[in-house]
Chain A
Amino acid sequence: MKLKVLTPMLLIGLLIFSGCGGGGSSGTTSSIGQKGLAKIKAYKNSGGTSNVPTEADYATAGVVDVNASNITALNRYILLLNISKIDTKSELQGIVDNNDYVDNDGDGIGQGLDTSPDDPDVPFMDGDSDTDSDGTPNGADTDDDNDGVLDTADAFPLDENETIDTDNDGTGNNADTDDDNDGVLDTADAFPLDAGETIDTDNDGIGNNADTDDDNDSVLDVNDAFPLDENETIDTDNDGTGNNADTDDDNDGVSDVIEGLAGTDPLNALSFPTTVAISGKITYDLVPVNSNHVGLDYTNITQEAAKNVVVELLNASNVPLDITTTDDAGDYNFIGITLNVDVKVRVSAKMFKIGAPNWDVQVVNNNAENSLYVMEGSLVSSGAVDSSRNLNAPSGWGGSSYTGTRVAAPFAMLDTINSAMSKILDANATATFPPLKVNWYAGSTKGTYYTDGKLFIVGDANSDTDEYDDHVIAHEWGHYYEDKFSRSDSVGGSHGSGDRLDIRVAFGEGWGNAFSGIALDDSIYFDTAGSNQASGFNFNLETQTQDTPGWYSEASIQRILYDIYDTNDDGSDTLSLGFAAMHQVFVGTQKTTDAYTSIFTFITALKAQNFGDAEAIDSIVGSENIAAINDIFGTGRTNFVAPNYEVLTVGTTVNVCPTYTYGSVNTNKLGNHKYLKVNIGTAESYTLTVTRSNTSATTDPDFQLYNTNTEGYSMIGGGDNPNTETKTANLAPANYLLDVSDYNAVDGACFDVNITN
């Protein structure tokens, strides 16, 4: 049990009281008695720390029967008493006489005060309370409500739920909904204990009243039109919307973007364009292939950007007011258009650019005088404000058949060509693309092929139409690339993946297939056809099974070339050279090679340019049953009809025998053509003759003499002359390649070839 200590003020009060107290005793006796009482009270007031009364002191005070056996208990009892209970000798004597100080139950409380004098577990005196019921009377407890805050620091020592009353309104902060009594509820008050602050906009710990930059945007509040908005500081037109969010800062009716394009001041209401802008997006309907790559999926048509196409703004007389091209998102923009004039947008199926790089690609209707396909919007006023006009080329699909004009077709083909061109631009950002004309019309059955700067694409719905067969388009564009950027010696003709082809045809077609995958970064080639374009076929450049792998197989070559390009390591392919390395070969060595263009010329040059990858290249080539290639003529081949080049010198005769083991149709199969090398050292007139040397069957020998220096033909013997073909021409000194074949494809026929000067 702890005893409370009396405060000095109380002690002073007691001293004053005792000094003024009167007594009925004689002067001396009374004075002595008062002296003894005073010491006892001093003891009491000290809390028992000083002036401990002795038996003599009690005697002096006139109290008898205080002796050694009871003085200790009496003194302890005195400390428990109210000071008013020991004012007089008789009150003290009464305590002694009544044995009030006796503590029978030993709980420290004399029986005169003990509420339970015989119960040692109840040490309470009359009037004692115990707020927190911790067994310690409040009088002796330093934390009456047991809330962890000492009573001396507790504004509510008897309320365990409260300790602080910031605003001294008598309601503790816990119960108080406005602790600082600033009129803002604590729940909305950033400073609930600070009557001087309620908001901290920038959460910097400084209330807005004290903060000089409330939104912490580095512009002082005094200079900030939006001191509480860190995203805004200025409102030029005072419309309540800051300049950053305002699309027309000066409120002159012309958007800031247009003002920027027009060069007027977007912050000056007196500065604005006197014209309008017309912008928009050009798209076309793309009909995708089904997920199994067989047939077109007309249920999932998407609108795709028409990239780099020519867009014109025409007046009512179809006179162009402006011309531009779309960007890679299909967006176009015309500015400076006179207000309120009737105009329309015309989009040509044409990609055109001058400078570096440059190109000119257009899609024409070869059933209507090669007219350029265009689509137009409506003739509508340019208005007084900027506007957008988005144009989409519809597919014409009516749900179960084509019922409308197939406007999208030319743009779909251009988009594929744009992808193909992008691949070249990745390798050469300043490439010059020779003009290309794509010939297509709805209903065209004239075949899909490339020849001399022109693509011809079929368009016969329900039979065969290729505008959405992007790999087919890319394949044919690959021929354009080989022809215009490099060199192709292919003799053309129909071909199939299982054919053993003339090495030039095999390479050209294998390249076309590989490039379709390269251009589109999609290894699955597909071609749709049939009723509603629901049929077709496909093959995977990576996984197609080869019937007859080898250097004469377009299927082998397409895989080799794609594997050289792609980043996918599979089987023997650990190489990822990308397109740039291939492009360097095509525009370099392949273009001037002294042999016919084939897998041999390409791989030889590729290995020379990428010496460190030679082994990996050999691995890919080897996986197609082709021994390592180390020279442009394919020297050392012994399988099938080896592409041996005979050497023809001036004044001599060489005998050659075309073969037809692998077919004669198109005379583009392996063995149909014989190759010779001719070196001309002196510039003069030469006569080249090819004559049947055996058999009685009628043959029709043909030949072509090709100058590898000038990349052109110097002699072509292609007449219908039976058994003999001859030509005379002036030849420049150079290495020439001579191709000899028999148009009649007479099996077993051989020919003497000679050249004389």
Chain B
Amino acid sequence: MKLFTLVCMASLLGTTPSMAFTAKVKAPKLVTGTSIGKYAKPGAPVDIRYTTEHVSVGDTSIVSLKLTSTASSGSMQVAINIDKSLETVGNVPLRRSFNLEGVGKVYPLDFSVVGSSDGVFYIKLFVEMKGKGFRVFVIPVHVGNAKVKKARKALQKNAQGENISVSKAVETIKR
């Protein structure tokens, strides 16, 4: 039995797109999400709330990340990895360190990016606390026509009618 309520979570759709045209987003749309309320494997006691702006290609999207932790001692190291299709505006430190100050404290990370093509691109945070583990957060940034999907090869089915993803084995045959 596991019941909990999810706050608004942006859907993670599509992969890197290849579009011949771009869509104009009339006004920035806020995309919010959080790790709060989601099941999680053992790791650092840290959660995130985030807001990004869904903007057009070439427009600036403000990225607002807010980390929270119940830890009151030690420090939290944050490594930021930004998709190559997102260009940062100004000098954005990709490594940050925060001294942990306990329950209720918010550790903000705010910066801006510009998307160079349509699609959903990801900012990944590797957050580590010495002796307490780590957590990885993935924040989607929607740019232009974000629902572009790659054409996918038709799936095969097995004899039971199940879809199957087929890979090649390394095989050794002896007679």
Could you list which residues of chain A lie within 8 angstroms of chain B, going by C-beta atoms? Answer: 312, 318-320, 345-348, 365, 368-378, 380, 383, 385-394, 405, 407, 443, 445-452, 458, 460, 463-464, 466, 472, 475-476, 483, 487-499, 509, 512-513, 525, 527, 529-530, 535-537, 539, 554, 660-666, 669, 702, 704, 706, 711-713, 716, 718, 743
Cβ of B36 to closest chain A Cβ, rounded Å:
5
CB pair B163–A498 under 8 Å, yes or no, is no
- Bound-state CA distance A449–B163 (Å) is 23
Most chain A beta-carbon neighbours within 10 Å: one of B12, B156, B165: B165
A387 contact set on B, CB distance < 8 A = 173-175
Q: Which residues of B139-164 have CB atoms within 8 Å of chain A's CB atoms?
A: 152, 155-156, 158-159, 162-164
CB pair B47–A372 under 8 Å, yes or no, is no
10 closest A-B pairs by beta carbon, nearest first, are A496-B45, A449-B39, A371-B163, A377-B171, A391-B169, A375-B169, A445-B138, A494-B40, A464-B136, A663-B70
CB pair B36–A529 under 8 Å, yes or no, is no
Cβ of B34 to closest chain A Cβ, rounded Å:
9
- Bound-state CA distance A407–B138 (Å) is 24
The 8 Å CB contact of B167, one of A319, A374, A388, A716, is: A374
- Bound-state CA distance A483–B158 (Å) is 30
From B44, which residue of chain A is reached at the shortest CB distance?
Answer: A496
Given contacts A389-B173, A475-B41, A476-B41, contact A529 B136 (CB under 8 A): yes
Q: Is B51 an interface residue (CB 8 A)?
A: no
Complex A-B: 9 CB contacts under 8 Å = A369-B155, A374-B167, A378-B173, A443-B15, A476-B41, A494-B47, A496-B43, A529-B126, A536-B134
Interface SS majority for chain B: loop
The 8 Å CB contact of B35, one of A319, A390, A448, A494, is: A494
- Bound-state CA distance A549–B172 (Å) is 54
A388 contact set on B, CB distance < 8 A = 172-174
CB pair B42–A512 under 8 Å, yes or no, is yes
- Bound-state CA distance A199–B173 (Å) is 48
Given contacts A493-B4, A498-B45, contact A372 B158 (CB under 8 A): yes
Q: Is B170 an interface residue (CB 8 A)?
A: yes
Cβ of B42 to closest chain A Cβ, rounded Å:
6
Most chain B beta-carbon neighbours within 10 Å: one of A374, A458, A527, A716: A374
- Bound-state CA distance A129–B35 (Å) is 119
Cβ of A220 to closest chain B Cβ, rounded Å:
41
Q: Which residues of B1-49 have CB atoms within 8 Å of chain A's CB atoms?
A: 1-5, 12, 15, 35-47
CB pair A347–B70 under 8 Å, yes or no, is no
Cβ of B30 to closest chain A Cβ, rounded Å:
19
Given contacts A405-B167, A407-B168, A488-B2, contact A494 B71 (CB under 8 A): no
- Bound-state CA distance A70–B70 (Å) is 138
CB pair B36–A494 under 8 Å, yes or no, is yes
Q: Which residues of B91-128 have CB atoms within 8 Å of chain A's CB atoms?
A: 103-104, 122, 124, 126, 128
Known A494-B45, A662-B70; 8 more pairs at CB < 8 Å: A347-B169, A368-B155, A472-B41, A487-B1, A494-B43, A495-B45, A497-B133, A529-B136
- Bound-state CA distance A374–B156 (Å) is 11
Contact code string B56-88 (vs A, CB < 8 Å = 1, else 0): 000000000000101100000000010000000
CB pair A665–B12 under 8 Å, yes or no, is no
A530 contact set on B, CB distance < 8 A = 126
- Bound-state CA distance A385–B38 (Å) is 56
The 8 Å CB contact of B169, one of A407, A445, A464, A663, is: A407
CB pair A463–B124 under 8 Å, yes or no, is yes
CB pair B43–A493 under 8 Å, yes or no, is no
Most chain A beta-carbon neighbours within 10 Å: one of B15, B104, B159, B166: B166
The 8 Å CB contact of B103, one of A320, A460, A475, A663, is: A663
Given contacts A368-B155, A449-B41, contact A498 B103 (CB under 8 A): no
B132 contact set on A, CB distance < 8 A = 496-498, 537
- Bound-state CA distance A369–B153 (Å) is 12
From B70, which residue of chain A is reached at the shortest CB distance?
Answer: A663
B40 contact set on A, CB distance < 8 A = 447-449, 493-495
A491 contact set on B, CB distance < 8 A = 2-4
- Bound-state CA distance A672–B151 (Å) is 47
From A471, which residue of chain B is reached at the shortest CB distance?
Answer: B42
CB pair B39–A492 under 8 Å, yes or no, is yes
- Bound-state CA distance A452–B47 (Å) is 23
CB pair B133–A527 under 8 Å, yes or no, is yes
Cβ of A520 to closest chain B Cβ, rounded Å:
15
A665 contact set on B, CB distance < 8 A = 36, 47, 68, 70
CB pair A669–B70 under 8 Å, yes or no, is yes
